[in-house]
Amino acid sequence: MTWPSGLQAPGMDTDGEPGCLDYVWVRGAVRVVGARLAFDRPAVGDPTLYPSDHLGLVAELVVGEGG
């Protein structure tokens, strides 16, 4: 699940069911070696403060002939 992140704000989007809304798309000579969520922890001292209402994604890719 990449949305919602846990951010609590007056103007935050609360419509819909939580889900996976963010992707890393690859094609061609690219291979995904690993992927994980990022920015999935709140600020120290404020459990409602996140960088965004979506969690980030980090992907490790191999590009080129070895992909």
Mean pLDDT by 10 residues, the chain (67 residues): 85 82 90 93 93 91 79
User: Which residues 6+ apart lie within 8 Å of 58 measured at CB?
Assistant: 35, 36, 37, 38
From the list 2, 9, 4, the residue with the least C-alpha distance to 46 is 9
What burial class does residue 5 get, using C-beta atoms within 10 Å of its C-beta: 0-12 exposed, 13-18 middle, 19+ buried?
A: buried
**pTM for the whole thing?**
0.69
User: 56: which strand partners?
Assistant: 38
Q: What is the largest CA-CA distance in the chain?
A: 49
